[in-house]
Amino acid sequence: QKEVEQNSGPLSVPEGAIASLNCTYSDRGSQSFFWYRQYSGKSPELIMFIYSNGDKEDGRFTAQLNKASQYVSLLIRDSQPSDSATYLCAVKPRDYNTDKLIFGTGTRLQVFP
């Protein structure tokens, strides 16, 4: 089992719709969870982080965390073509001796006009 799993996609949604991106993780003691956006040929950039159960909203983005189910998701409301990118889920594991992140392979999102 991979430590962080994501559906590779592509996930195709029409402009204006809600895009829902999902991620599961295996280390139950994981502390913090991150969503990075990566445009083709570019480096990842942080969109959101979450570390408490529940929802966290920032503009059109909402991160949801359910530690009991080991599940984290990212909702993008009013999707725009400019949101088309690969979204990487990253998890900070329980190991207190390191601050590395474990990344999933990413979900490619396509927003069509």
Q: What are phi and psi of 83, to 5 degrees?
A: -80, -10
Least Å from the CB of residue 73 to other proteins: 17
In the chain, DSSP assigns E strands to 4-5, 11-14, 19-25, 32-38, 45-50, 54-58, 61-66, 71-76, 85-92, 102-103, 107-112
Q: Which of residues 50-89 bind other proteins (CB under 8 A)?
A: 51, 88
Least Å from the CB of residue 90 to other proteins: 8
Q: Which two tokens stand for residue 23?
A: 């991620």
Of 12-20, 59-67, 68-76, 91-99, the window that binds other proteins (rule: CB under 8 A) is: 91-99
In the complex, the residues that contact other proteins under the rule CB under 8 A are 4, 6, 31-32, 42-46, 49, 51, 88, 90, 97-106
